[in-house]
Chain A
């Protein structure tokens, strides 16, 4: 077992990197059930709202927090997917073009058979009559190695917008 904070072995690094890229493709292809199988049963999936504060602002963050766009367990993610698959989601029918570009991948040894993974995702969406949007976010993940391969345990997403610049966020980051 390597030290916390060091790199994984090359084989493990490549396997986990491939998993990240495969995860993106499964989402692009709307293979949501396959995507859920990559997630640990105890997974937490979070996208907090960003607050714009001065650098020197030392006031305490609000007691209730800024709020979340996603703060999901596996069950809540299943609900979201059920909505996407319901056949009644008009904004996604006809199907929109979605492409995720994953880059800036860093993989570091964490404790308990886990790896800490940083990456950047750029989601390109082309909807309706040529309406285009790019959404970028930084991701900080925890992945765990199991008998079934690498599984996602935690994802904290930092969206690179204070105001969400699209008419919906029917996409997973």
Chain B
């Protein structure tokens, strides 16, 4: 079995597969194909979007962790499935009529890890949401993902979203970044 050196840039073909995975994931979400999106996640998915506090640089408190932080999302598969189920009830009034959402994915990097089938993937996202008549929001963030190849198919195992806002500047962040 081939050993991998962690932290090296992935081979060309792997890079393009990962890129296509991320673009497709974004398109499924833009098109509200949420069940198809859930199928892209591993059973042990952890989806984390912590709050960013304004701290002085010399502040010695440890960086937030999923156990010790305020978060917007701190979700396992059951939580994410609940969120999708809410969309499907037909009673999610703020989603009807639907908003128009577009995710722009860029700055993709992929590196190996110690596991042959798991990769660290960085990317940036700009999510544009246009709701009702004229409400607009842009959310800019970096994603630190772990992608895993499971039986030849790519899946998302971890996502840590670094949101580039302190105060959330739109009335809710009920979109997956």
Direct chain A–B contact by Cβ atoms under 8 Å? yes
Give chain A's interface residues, CB within 8 Å of chain B.
10-11, 14-15, 18, 21-22, 24-25, 28, 87, 93-95, 97-103, 122, 124, 126, 129-130, 132
Interface residues on B, range: 20 to 34
The answer, yes or no, to whether B87 is at the interface (CB within 8 Å) is: no
B9, B56, B140: the one within 8 Å of A99 (CB): B140
Task: Show 26 residue pairs from A and B whose CB-CB distance is below 8 angstroms, ordered by the A residue.
Answer: A15-B9, A21-B109, A22-B109, A25-B122, A25-B142, A87-B57, A93-B57, A95-B54, A97-B52, A100-B124, A101-B104, A101-B107, A101-B124, A101-B140, A102-B107, A122-B126, A124-B126, A124-B140, A126-B140, A126-B165, A129-B166, A130-B165, A130-B166, A130-B167, A132-B138, A132-B169
Kindly list chain A residues whose C-beta atoms are within 8 Å of the C-beta of B15: 14
B57, B106, B107, B124: the one within 8 Å of A95 (CB): B57
Whether A21 pairs with B108 at a CB distance below 8 angstroms is yes
Kindly list chain B residues whose C-beta atoms are within 8 Å of the C-beta of A101: 104, 106-107, 124, 126, 140
Minimum C-beta distance from A58 to chain B (A)? 39
4 shortest interchain CB distances as A-B pairs: A97-B164, A94-B54, A124-B140, A130-B167
Whether B56 pairs with A93 at a CB distance below 8 angstroms is yes
A94, A102, A130: the one within 8 Å of B169 (CB): A130
Kindly list chain B residues whose C-beta atoms are within 8 Å of the C-beta of A103: 106
Give chain B's interface residues, CB within 8 Å of chain A.
9, 12, 15, 52, 54-58, 104, 106-109, 122, 124, 126, 138, 140-142, 163-167, 169
A18, A25, A99: the one within 8 Å of B141 (CB): A99
Question: Given the complex of chains A and B, what is the CA–CA distance between A147 and B104 in angstroms?
Answer: 34
Kindly list chain B residues whose C-beta atoms are within 8 Å of the C-beta of A98: 164
Kindly list chain A residues whose C-beta atoms are within 8 Å of the C-beta of B141: 99
Q: A10-B12, A126-B140 are in contact. List 19 more A-B contacts (CB 8 A).
A: A18-B109, A21-B107, A21-B108, A93-B57, A94-B54, A94-B55, A94-B56, A97-B164, A97-B165, A99-B124, A99-B140, A99-B141, A101-B126, A101-B140, A102-B106, A124-B140, A124-B164, A130-B165, A132-B138
CB within 8 Å for A25 and B140 given contacts A14-B15, A94-B56: no
Main secondary structure of the interface of A (DSSP, over half): mixed
Chain A residue at minimal CB-CB distance from B126? A101
Kindly list chain B residues whose C-beta atoms are within 8 Å of the C-beta of A100: 107, 124
CB within 8 Å for A97 and B166 given contacts A18-B9, A87-B57, A124-B126: yes
Kindly list chain A residues whose C-beta atoms are within 8 Å of the C-beta of B52: 97
Whether B126 pairs with A126 at a CB distance below 8 angstroms is no
Minimum C-beta distance from B13 to chain A (A)? 11
Question: Given the complex of chains A and B, what is the CA–CA distance between A11 and B124 in angstroms?
Answer: 23
Whether A126 pairs with B109 at a CB distance below 8 angstroms is no
Kindly list chain B residues whose C-beta atoms are within 8 Å of the C-beta of A129: 166-167
Kindly list chain B residues whose C-beta atoms are within 8 Å of the C-beta of A28: 142
Kindly list chain A residues whose C-beta atoms are within 8 Å of the C-beta of B138: 124, 132
Question: Given the complex of chains A and B, what is the CA–CA distance between A41 and B140 in angstroms?
Answer: 33
The interface centre, meaning the residue of B163, B164, B169 with most chain A CB atoms within 10 A of its CB, is B164
Minimum C-beta distance from B112 to chain A (A)? 13
Question: Given the complex of chains A and B, what is the CA–CA distance between A65 and B157 in angstroms?
Answer: 54
